[in-house]
Structure 1
Amino acid sequence: MPERRSDERFATVLEGWIGDPERKTRIECSVLDLSLSGVRLVIPGSADVPLEFELQIPDARAAAMARLIWTDGIHYGAQFTG
């Protein structure tokens, strides 16, 4: 199957937070894949992930706005928006 991603992705094991500016809440997550255009996250247990959110990765001193693209209930794929 051909690769559909526009940017090369890199496997990571980083801890992060999904920030919901409207509800002023944070959801703990793990960052498993990272590219210039998006990310794959794992969230233990069920979570109400917002469609648009700020992803914070403290160990990398990084933060970016993202849009949720897909989920299977454990893994979440998001595209960076800004």
Structure 2
Amino acid sequence: MSLGLPERRSDERFPTMLEGWIRDTKSRARIGCSVWDLSQSGVRLVIAGSAEIPLEFELEIPEAGAAATTRLVWTDGTHYGARFTS
């Protein structure tokens, strides 16, 4: 019996501690972030302080040599969930 919320993700997520950049695709402005969870289809990001996160953005993870176009799905003001669109 599960007492928590049902899992809605289609792909297994993996905890990470990577640093990344959110880059607005229109203004090219960058916001630093931490990548806490990563799966084949999405990511959970943590941002210190307040920030205006665009609905669609490019996520860069230099340490992993990765970049992907993403779409914001949810936020609680500190944690941000996004799915990969490319």
TM-score of the two chains, using structure 1 as the length reference: 0.97
Question: 1:39 deviation in Å?
Answer: 0.2
Structure-to-structure mapping, 1:1-82, within 5 angstroms: 1-82=5-86
Greater C-alpha Rg: 2
1:29-75 per-position Cα deviation (integer Å, ceiling 9, x unaligned): 00000000000000000000000000000000000000000000000
Deviating beyond 3 angstroms after TM superposition, the runs of 4 or more aligned structure 1 residues are none
1:14-42 per-position Cα deviation (integer Å, ceiling 9, x unaligned): 00000012112000000000000000000
Question: 1:3 deviation in Å?
Answer: 1.3
RMSD: 0.6
Q: Residue 63 of structure 2: SS of its match in structure 1?
A: helix
The answer on whether the counterparts of 2:19 and 2:63 sit within 8 Å (CA) in structure 1 is yes
Q: Residue 26 of structure 2: SS of its match in structure 1?
A: coil
TM-score of the two chains, using structure 2 as the length reference: 0.93
Question: 1:2 deviation in Å?
Answer: 2.6
Structure 2 stretches of 5 or more lacking a match?
A: none
Percent sequence identity over matched residues? Answer: 71
